[in-house]
Amino acid sequence: MTTKIKDVAAAAGVSAATVSRVLNDNSEVNPELRDRVLDAVKRLGYRPNGAARSLRTRATMVVGLIISDITNPFFTAMVRGVEDAAQEAGYSVILANADEDVDKEARYLEVAVAEQMAGIVLSPAGASQPRLDLLAERNVPIVMIDRRIPGYDSVTIPNRQLAKQATCHLIEQGWKRVGFVAGPNTTTTARERLEGYRAALRESGRAVDPDLIRVADYRIDGGHDAAHALLSAKPPPDALLVSNNLMTIGALDALAEAGLTAPGDIGFVGFDDVTWALGHRSRITTVEQPTYDIGRRAGELLLARIRGDATPARRIVLPAELVVRDSSLNKERLRPA
Amino acid sequence: MTTKIKDVAAAAGVSAATVSRVLNDNSEVNPELRDRVLDAVKRLGYRPNGAARSLRTRATMVVGLIISDITNPFFTAMVRGVEDAAQEAGYSVILANADEDVDKEARYLEVAVAEQMAGIVLSPAGASQPRLDLLAERNVPIVMIDRRIPGYDSVTIPNRQLAKQATCHLIEQGWKRVGFVAGPNTTTTARERLEGYRAALRESGRAVDPDLIRVADYRIDGGHDAAHALLSAKPPPDALLVSNNLMTIGALDALAEAGLTAPGDIGFVGFDDVTWALGHRSRITTVEQPTYDIGRRAGELLLARIRGDATPARRIVLPAELVVRDSSLNKERLRPA
DNA sequence: TTGAAAGCGCTAACAC
DNA sequence: GTGTTAGCGCTTTCAA
């Protein structure tokens, strides 16, 4: 049997209630008793039973972070931000991997409820309404990250604007046929980026050629295959915008296979940081997101909700930045013929 | 108030015990009552309270996976293996990020105990004995992954042998001065790989030149700096063995900065899969680990322990493989002068 | 300020 | 096969 609060109480010659008070340092306790309790706790190696505590208080000091793909460094980079925000408030962060799978996501949302987590940060793969209702019923706050769901708190970046800016940048560089590798249109993020791409073309007076758009799955191989397919379009694109990090890596692979170099043969812009993959030597122009800050803000917002903040759902949009490096430049074509 | 088991019992016209029996499908229950219960559960949207359940049963259907660096795809690649093994047995997997920080790791081990997780898979950053004792006391099984701790179950690869093999490969290719970027020697993994490197040199009759060894922190920048430092040794190495994936990426950066190409200017072997980073076009020779299987075996072993398997601590060593690609080859030098 | 006692929601003996 | 009852370990009234 492990030591419980009664053992500590007995050892310290006080009641269980006093031990509890000392440990949760709420009301004032006689300093002497306090010391005796603390001493007993240490001597006996007492650790409170979380289940009993949360059964009583109906909450834990744990927040859940459900990530849509644990193997994608973009998501894991946000983890530390959430952790730091949580830790400052005394909470621990526990992760789950939804694997872009709606069922798995639903399962973990249920685990979160069953384990009475204090709140959830979620990058929804497709968040089923029933589960969200479940959380709402139990007053478990939830903050969406990277992707939005109407009516819920979220922390994102201005995807549409950034994709538009990236596309405009390629056009300004003189590239004529800009292809686009889109993400799964179940996510707001992917849809917004596609919209931005379209808007840029329209506003610069170009037709949106469906042959220059490929939808893929946000993964390396998907990006590879999509880029490969695009490159074999009738007249192939002379530039490519790829809408997430993993697909960017795959697309670069496809370029290499086709014997194309960016810059030089083709203009290229990726999404998200890829230095974790390619190192600093790769001079790839990308849209870079403040991943740590996204996590951090989501964590902070969640904690505010946990503390009872009941203001209407907030949509926090953090600035992100098109970082122009070599891969998008088109020196030759800009030079007057 | 959320619905509880008594509400369901009332709605179904049975006792709480019967509801519990139906839900945990232990003993036989009259099919008719069964149906009434299931119906009531659905109608009321009842979900069992995990805290109450685990207070009673002193265990949850959750296993913890504490990872030493969540941003490292090597570790996240193992997650799915653990998840699959757990899921088949009806368990959910919850992750925590220790961030190679012994204190954080200790905190999460305590959370795991407090939350009464059924078992732990851990890639120890330095696992403090007190926490391990804590788990032992409470009979929470723990399986080490990637790194070993004497007396505990573990799933690893033959690090020493593989590092030796990789080094021998470079030597056989005709490289004369093989440098080594080592990991933090707090981990068994790093120490074993260093040993393997040394053994290879010794057995091929070469001196172990301390100037050709640099210890770094298993991260990209650490690998970069270590490789950079090695390259400025008096006579620089003409080949490099780097002992994990992140450092491999950093080291490749350093090579590029120094204007060196592998193969050609220098022989290069990395550790772990790096296709997630560099794509398939990178022809880097690496020691590849069966990450999914490592996770899976660890999960299976843990579940056996949870079920009560009390055989002595097991050291599972899974085969890994030196995959020779271009970066380590030395065609020129092997060719007779 | 401290203690006694009730009860969070569930499961497992034990009776029937 | 089903219901009754007694706790799991903790926090939190309520009295003292």
d(C-alpha A308, C-alpha A302), whole Å: 10
Q: Burial level of B221, CB count in 10 A (0-12/13-18/19+)?
A: middle
pLDDT band of A331, cuts 50, 70, 90: confident
pLDDT band of B334, cuts 50, 70, 90: low
Q: Could you tell me the distance in Å between the CA of residue A25 and the C1' of nucleotide C1? A: 14
Determine the distance in angstroms separating the CA of A15 from the nearest CA of chain B, rounded to an integer.
Answer: 21
Q: Which residue of A has its CA nearest to B93?
A: A96
Residue nearest to nucleotide D7 (CA to C1'): B56
At A246, is the secondary structure helix, strand, or coil?
helix
Residue A275: the pLDDT is 83
**A289 to each of A161, A219, A323, B132, how far by Cα in Å?**
13, 18, 10, 39
B224 touches chain A (CB under 8 A): yes
Q: Which residue of B has its CA nearest to A223?
A: B279
Among A79, A253, A275, select the one facing B279 at the smallest CB separation.
A253
B108 touches chain A (CB under 8 A): yes
A136 touches chain B (CB under 8 A): no
Q: Could you tell me the distance in Å between the CA of residue A30 and the C1' of nucleotide D16? A: 17
- In DSSP notation, B191-218 reads HHHHHHHHHHHHHTT----GGGEEE--S
A30 touches chain B (CB under 8 A): no
Residue B133: the pLDDT is 87
Does the pLDDT value for residue B169 go beyond 80?
A: yes
What percent of chain A is modeled with pLDDT above 90? 79
Residue B138 sits at φ, ψ, to 5 deg, of -90, 5
DSSP lists the bridge partners of residue A197 as: none
Q: Which residue of B has its CA nearest to A78?
A: B71
Determine the distance in angstroms separating the CA of B271 from the nearest CA of chain A, rounded to an integer.
Answer: 15
Q: Could you tell me the distance in Å between the CA of residue A17 and the C1' of nucleotide C4? A: 9
> Are A225 and A256 contacting, i.e. CB atoms less than 8 angstroms apart?
no
> Which residues of chain A make contact with B96, given a CB cutoff of 8 A?
92-95
- Interface contact flag, A279 B93, Cβ < 8 Å: no
Token pair 């504490």: residue: B66
> Are A93 and A83 contacting, i.e. CB atoms less than 8 angstroms apart?
yes
A242 touches chain B (CB under 8 A): no
Shortest CA to C1' contact from A23: nucleotide:
D11
Extract the tokens encoding B286: 């690496």
> Which residues of chain B make contact with A134, given a CB cutoff of 8 A?
45, 47
A139 touches chain B (CB under 8 A): no
Does the pLDDT value for residue B335 go beyond 80?
A: no
Q: What is the mean pLDDT of residues A272-287?
A: 86
pLDDT band of A334, cuts 50, 70, 90: low
Residue B337: the pLDDT is 41
Extract the tokens encoding A128: 């089923």
Q: Could you tell me the distance in Å between the CA of residue A38 and the C1' of nucleotide D15? A: 26
At A324, is the secondary structure helix, strand, or coil?
coil
Residue A218: the pLDDT is 92
> Which residues of chain B make contact with A258, given a CB cutoff of 8 A?
none
More confident residue, B185 or A128: B185
At a 7 A CB cut-off, the residues bordering strand D are A 1-2, 4-6, 16-17, 19-21, 23-24, 26, 46, 48-49, 52-53, 55-57; B 13-18, 21, 27-30, 32-33, 52, 55-56, 58
> Are B109 and B67 contacting, i.e. CB atoms less than 8 angstroms apart?
no
Alpha-helix residue ranges (DSSP H) falling in A45-153: 50-57, 73-88, 102-114, 129-137
CB pairs under 8 A between A and B: 153
**A315 to each of A125, A126, A151, how far by Cα in Å?**
18, 18, 9
A1 touches chain B (CB under 8 A): no
Q: What is the mean pLDDT of residues A76-88?
A: 94
> Are B212 and B182 contacting, i.e. CB atoms less than 8 angstroms apart?
no
Output the CA angle B274-B275-B279, nearest 5 degrees: 130
d(C-alpha A211, C-alpha B246), whole Å: 37
Least confident piece of the model among A89-98, A301-310, B123-132, B287-296: B123-132
> Are B125 and B102 contacting, i.e. CB atoms less than 8 angstroms apart?
yes
- pLDDT digits 0-9 by tens, A162-185: 999 999 999 999 999 999 999 999
Q: H or E stretch including A267?
A: strand A267-271
Determine the distance in angstroms separating the CA of A71 from the nearest CA of chain B, rounded to an integer.
Answer: 5
B76 touches chain A (CB under 8 A): yes
Residue A321: count of CB within 10 angstroms of its CB: 13
Q: Provide the chain B residues 159-218 that lie in CB contact (below 8 A) with chain A.
A: none
Nearest CA to A278 out of B244, B74, B247, B278 is that of B278
d(C-alpha B300, C-alpha A43), whole Å: 36
Nearest CA to B318 out of B159, B178, B138, B202 is that of B159
Nearest CA to B298 out of B55, B66, B41, B24 is that of B66
What percent of chain A is modeled with pLDDT above 70? 98
Does the pLDDT value for residue A336 go beyond 80?
A: no
Extract the tokens encoding B13: 């016209």
To test the contact with chain A by mutation, choose from B2, B67, B76, B275 the residue with the greatest count of A C-beta atoms within 10 A, namely B76
A114 touches chain B (CB under 8 A): yes
B157 touches chain A (CB under 8 A): no
Output the CA angle B316-B320-B326, nearest 5 degrees: 170
Task: Write A306-310 long-range contacts (CB < 8 A, 24+).
Answer: A306/A63, A306/A118, A306/A119, A306/A141
The one-letter amino acid at A3: T
Pairing of strands A285-288, A321-323: antiparallel
User: CA end-to-end span of chain A, whole Å?
Assistant: 85
- Interface contact flag, A256 B281, Cβ < 8 Å: yes
Nearest CA to B146 out of B125, B161, B132, B166 is that of B125
State the Cα torsion B302-B308-B309-B312 to the nearest 10°: 90
Extract the tokens encoding B263: 């193969």
- Interface contact flag, A277 B276, Cβ < 8 Å: yes
- List the nucleotides on chain C closer than 7 A to a protein CB: 1-5, 7-13
Q: What is the mean pLDDT of residues B287-316?
A: 96
d(C-alpha B93, C-alpha A121), whole Å: 17
> Are A201 and A227 contacting, i.e. CB atoms less than 8 angstroms apart?
no
d(C-alpha B115, C-alpha B231), whole Å: 49
d(C-alpha B283, C-alpha A228), whole Å: 20
Q: What is the mean pLDDT of residues B24-52?
A: 90
> Which residues of chain B make contact with A62, given a CB cutoff of 8 A?
111, 115
Q: Could you tell me the distance in Å between the CA of residue B19 and the C1' of nucleotide C11? A: 11
A44 touches chain B (CB under 8 A): no
d(C-alpha A293, C-alpha A291), whole Å: 5
> Are B55 and A52 contacting, i.e. CB atoms less than 8 angstroms apart?
yes
Residue B144: the pLDDT is 97
Q: Which residue of A has its CA nearest to B281?
A: A253
Residue A337: the pLDDT is 41
Residue nearest to nucleotide C7 (CA to C1'): A56
Q: What is the mean pLDDT of residues B155-184?
A: 97
Residue B129: the pLDDT is 85
> Are B143 and B122 contacting, i.e. CB atoms less than 8 angstroms apart?
yes
- pLDDT digits 0-9 by tens, B93-103: 999 999 989 99
Q: Which residue of A has its CA nearest to B219?
A: A276
Residue B119 sits at φ, ψ, to 5 deg, of -175, 170
